[in-house]
């Protein structure tokens, strides 16, 4: 079986010094690549997934996987192809989305955590960087929407994007994202897509009964103070995107995947396509807004 991490040696380090020494000894490789390579458990897990994923991967994939700066992106492609292998029909061609199925296509993306503070475990209290994470999620989704628009504009293509459900598959594996849970009780990805803000409590002064609800939020602030639109699935330009699939794990299982369908999609994705994804989220459009069809756990 192929070893994606060759020629980095598997050493099973017993201390932080052993890990640091391995990174120093492999300066041409990304730090996270070395971390996975030297630990037998993670190295074997990735190689086992690759055994399935390579059937649906480009011929130059191993070279791209080992290139510095590509690790989390290529790892997510392995994971997505491994977990959804039963749906895939072939390798992507030049310029095509990363996952090709007869029922859908999907483009993978891993946002870089630029501007998101690293997780600190020093006993101090810090504000959770929900806005910073939302910026990175929004930037990644917007970039992939731009790529989809470019694909629509090409005359000669083997995929009819006007008839094929289009999924953006997002992964947030870096420790900077800290699980990426928002103040509403939803994942930040879902908040960005539907336009959800923090939980709010309303107390009836007459009965003294309190009700809890999720506030709406249509934008967040950029670093320079300008407004960045959220509520992406409520916006016309995102009608081309049928759904967003995501996970916050670096080696997710099917139970770690979440799929949110766009209630306004031009080409809707049939939720029955993925019976194995238990965390499928749908919204119903009403006269006054949107209702989440599943309760928050």
For helices 31-38 and 40-53, the axis angle rounded to 10 degrees is 100
Q: List, for residues 215-265, the tens digit of each pLDDT value.
A: 678 778 777 878 888 899 999 999 999 999 999 999 999 999 999 999 999
Q: Which of 155, 218, 165, 156 is nearest to 191 (CA)?
A: 218
Higher pLDDT, 124 or 73: 73
Q: Could you tell me the sign of the dihedral formed by the alpha carbons of 108, 113, 115, 119, in that order?
A: positive
ω into residue 245 within 30 of 0, thus cis?
no
Cβ contacts of 216-222, under 8 Å, gap ≥ 24: 216/289, 217/191, 220/131, 220/134, 220/135, 220/138, 221/131, 222/135
Q: What is the pLDDT of residue 201?
A: 62
Q: Which of 90, 103, 104 is nearest to 57 (CA)?
A: 90
For the chain, report the end-to-end CA distance as a whole number of angstroms.
41
- Give me 124's structure tokens: 């101090």
* Alpha helix (H) residue ranges in 84-235: 130-152, 188-194
- Residue boundaries of the structural domains of the chain: 1-62, 69-292
Q: List, for residues 20-64, the tens digit of each pLDDT value.
A: 999 999 999 999 999 999 999 999 999 999 999 999 999 999 999
Higher pLDDT, 115 or 155: 115
Give pTM, 2 decimals. Answer: 0.91
Q: List, for residues 188-214, the tens digit of each pLDDT value.
A: 999 999 988 665 666 766 776 666 557
């Amino acid at each position: 079986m192929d070893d994606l991490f060759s020629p980095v040696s598997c050493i099973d380090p017993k201390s932080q010094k052993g890990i640091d020494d391995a990174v120093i000894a492999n300066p041409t490789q990304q730090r996270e690549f070395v971390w996975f390579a030297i630990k037998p458990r993670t190295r074997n897990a990735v190689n086992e997934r690759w055994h399935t994923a390579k059937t649906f991967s480009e011929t130059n994939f191993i070279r791209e996987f080992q290139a510095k700066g590509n690790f989390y992106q290529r790892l997510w492609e392995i994971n997505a192809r491994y977990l959804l292998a039963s749906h895939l029909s072939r390798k992507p061609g030049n310029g095509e989305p990363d996952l090709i199925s007869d029922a859908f296509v999907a483009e993978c993306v891993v946002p870089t955590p630029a501007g998101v503070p690293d997780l600190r475990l020093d006993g101090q209290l810090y504000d959770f960087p929900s806005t910073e994470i939302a910026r990175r999620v929004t930037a990644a989704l917007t970039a992939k929407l731009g790529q989809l628009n470019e694909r629509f504009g090409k005359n000669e293509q083997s995929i009819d994007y006007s008839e094929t459900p289009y999924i953006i598959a997002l992964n947030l594996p870096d420790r900077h994202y800290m699980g990426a849970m928002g103040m509403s009780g939803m994942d930040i990805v879902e908040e960005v897509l539907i336009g959800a803000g923090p939980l709010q409590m309303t107390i009836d002064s007459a009965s003294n009964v309190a009700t809890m609800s999720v506030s709406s939020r249509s934008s967040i602030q950029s670093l320079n103070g300008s407004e960045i639109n959220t509520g992406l699935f409520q916006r016309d330009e995102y009608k081309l995107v049928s759904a967003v699939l995501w996970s916050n794990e670096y080696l997710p299982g099917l139970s770690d995947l979440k799929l949110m369908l766009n209630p306004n999609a031009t080409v809707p994705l049939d939720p029955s396509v993925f019976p194995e994804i238990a965390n499928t989220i749908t919204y119903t459009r009403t006269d006054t807004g949107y209702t989440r069809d599943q309760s928050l756990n």
